[in-house]
Amino acid sequence: MWKESRTGIESNTPTTYHAVISGIRMGEWSLFGFGLMMASLVFFLMPGRANAVEIERFANHLVLSGEIADYSPGALNRNLVEALLDLAMADDRTSPVYLHLNLPKGGDAAASFRLVDIIRSAQDQGTRVVAQVSAGDTCMSGCTFLFLAADERWMAPEGRLVFHGFTQRNAARPVPVPERYIETYYKLLAAANQTFFEFFKAARIIEDDRKVGFTGQTLFEERAFAGLVTRLLMH
C-alpha cells in the first residue's frame, strides 16, 4: 500500500492548484446556490504521466479500476468536478456521486489518503457519495479507505473487501509506518462502524499487517457490524 525507497517512503508530491469559481450563473440559478463550493476542491496535476487508476465516468457514476498511485488523485478530482458540474447543469440537487470500486491491488497509501481528502471536500459542501462493490469485484487495501469514507456503502453478496496494514514494497530495510497513517485508518473504521473498529484494534490488523477479507453477504448479515454495509445489492 505504500512505496519504499532505500532511504524511506517515496513521496512524489504533486503541485496543487485551487480552482476558484465565483459568481457563475446559469439561467436563474448559480452554482453556489446549488451548493457547489468548487473553490474547496483541489486539482492535483501530474503532467506527462498516465493515470494508474482508470476512471470511466457515466454522468454522476465514476467507475474506478486498476491500482492507486501517487498521481491518481488528479484523475478522481477531475472526474468528480465534471460529475458535479453535470448535476448542476441538470438542476439536480439530490443525486449522489457513485463510486464503483474494483481495485483488487489497492495501491499507494499516501495517494489513497489524498483520494479520501478529495471525497471529504466534496462531502463538506453537501455532496453525498455512494461507494459500490459489485458482484465479482474486489476492493482491497487503499481502496477500502474510499469505501469507508462514503456516506453510503453498497455491496453485492459476492463483492469482496480485503483489509490489511501497511505493506512495504521493495524496501532495503524496514521503515516505521507514519503514525498519522494508522490514526487516519482507525478514524475511517470508527466512523463507519465502532464495533468493526474495535475488532481491528483488538486483532492488531493494522499494526501487525494482517490480512482479512469479507464478502458483502457476511458484513451485511453480521449484526455487530450493522451500518458498515448500508445496502446489499441483489440482481
Closest CA to 217 of 141, 135, 143, 147: 135
pLDDT value of position 51: 43
Question: Can you list the domains of the chain with their CATH numbers?
Answer: 48-232 (3.90.226.10)
Question: 33-71: per-residue pLDDT in tens?
Answer: 333 333 333 333 333 344 468 899 999 999 999 999 887
In the predicted structure, residue 203 carries a pLDDT above the cut 70: yes
H helical segments located in the chain: 72-89, 109-124, 143-149, 179-192, 194-203, 216-221
Query: Which residues, at least 6 apart from 121, have a Cβ–Cβ distance to it below 8 Å?
Result: 40, 41, 42
pLDDT value of position 169: 64
Quote the mean pLDDT of the chain. Answer: 80
Q: Which amino acid is at 57?
A: R
Question: 116-158: per-residue pLDDT in tens?
Answer: 999 999 999 999 999 999 999 999 999 999 999 999 999 999 9
Residue linked to cell 485551487: 18
Higher pLDDT, 166 or 48: 166
Query: Which residues, at least 6 apart from 57, have a Cβ–Cβ distance to it below 8 Å?
Result: 63, 79, 82, 83
Higher pLDDT, 225 or 1: 225
Greatest Cα pair distance in the chain? 61
pLDDT value of position 177: 83
